[in-house]
Amino acid sequence: MGTTQWNEIHMVVMRIMSQLPSPSLGGLPPVTAMSDRPAMSPLDTIILPGSLKSATLAMIESMQRANIDQAREALDAMHKEMNATNSFKRDRARKTHNKKR
């Protein structure tokens, strides 16, 4: 996930974390300790900003595969770039080392 997408998931993560028991709060979830409201069950509906989107399982699977392929391509490109950079640095270091001999 790109850093520009963190704001999309931030609220979901915060809602989940505030519902989990915390040892530092005596085993109470933060939402209960701060507001005396009961924690939601993971099965409860989480209200998210924006409209709901309907999707079939096949649509979700194809989007997941596309995201995985995109991440794989980005990782391959990064590895190629790092390989080229490391080869350049290694060759330069060898030349410098050979000049000292």
- Per-residue pLDDT, 48: 63
Give the largest Cα separation in the chain, rounded: 75
Count other C-beta atoms under 10 Å from residue 33's C-beta.
Answer: 17
Please state, rounded to an integer, the average pLDDT across all residues of the chain: 86
Q: Based on the domain organization, do 34 and 72 belong to the same domain?
A: no
Structure tokens at 85: 């950079």
Q: Based on the domain organization, do 59 and 42 belong to the same domain?
A: no
Question: Given a cut of 90, is residue 49 above it in pLDDT?
Answer: no
Q: Based on the domain organization, do 4 and 43 belong to the same domain?
A: yes
Percent of the chain with pLDDT over 90: 43
Half-sphere CA count of 72, side-chain side, radius 13 A: 6
Q: What is the pLDDT of residues 86-96, one digit of tens each?
A: 999 999 999 99
Q: Based on the domain organization, do 42 and 63 belong to the same domain?
A: no
Structure tokens at 39: 């924690």
Question: Is the pTM higher than 0.85?
Answer: no
Please state the domain count of the chain: 2
Question: Given a cut of 80, is residue 18 above it in pLDDT?
Answer: yes
Q: What span, in angstroms and rounded, lies between the C-alpha atoms of 100 and 94?
A: 10
Helix (H) or strand (E) holding 54: none
